[in-house]
Amino acid sequence: MGAGALHIIRNRRHELQGLCCVEVKVYPLFSAFAGSANAFALSVEITPCNSDPCVLVTGEPVTVDIMFTATEDIRGGSASMQVVNGNVIRWLPPPNKTLCECLNPSCPIEEGGTHVYRHTLEIIDNIPSHEPEIRLELLNEQKSVFFCIQFPVQINAF
């Protein structure tokens, strides 16, 4: 684990609008567990992150690395990130790459295979600052969620 990065471990399941996510809590540990219906996480890393919850700064880049294992063959599609604040969901700008372009190794995603999804984004300045959470969803070709995590953050102005 690199300096200034924290890994996440499983905390509890969270259901919202029919989607099942794993809500996670940040701990300074190497291994982590989270998952969804068709994949489970081996580790989740947010960089930079030096506290619980992670303090993100508007205008600054944040990288999310998720190592996961698929429980079935998946045809990769896309990813989405949202800021969840109570019942309000705000969509973050989508990655400018396909899901497969963000995976190492790239697609196909095969049952039992281990992949790392990496996405770097800049935190936009119009995110509500009262106890928001970030939700990241990985979607298959049919736009169905096969993996989802959600974690608390604190957002500070630049």
pLDDT of 75: 92
Q: Is residue 150 in some structural domain?
A: yes
pLDDT of 103: 95
Number of domains the chain is built from: 1
Q: Is residue 1 in some structural domain?
A: no
pLDDT of 127: 66
Q: Distances in Å between the alpha carbon of 26 and those of 31, 78, 85, 96, 139?
A: 11, 25, 18, 27, 24
pLDDT of 129: 62
pLDDT of 38: 83
Q: Is residue 118 in some structural domain?
A: yes
Could you read off the pLDDT tens digit of each residue along the chain, which spans 158 residues? 444 444 443 333 333 333 444 444 433 332 333 446 688 888 888 898 888 888 888 888 989 999 999 999 999 899 988 888 878 888 887 777 889 999 999 999 999 999 999 999 887 776 666 678 888 889 999 988 888 888 888 888 76
Q: Is residue 125 in some structural domain?
A: yes
Residue span of the structural domain in which 55 resides: 6-156
Q: What is the CATH number of the domain that holds 102?
A: 2.60.40.770
Q: What is the pTM of this model?
A: 0.76
List Cβ neighbours of 142 (8 Å cut-off, separation of 6 or more).
77
CA-only gyration radius of the chain, Å: 14
Q: Is residue 84 in some structural domain?
A: yes
pLDDT of 113: 94
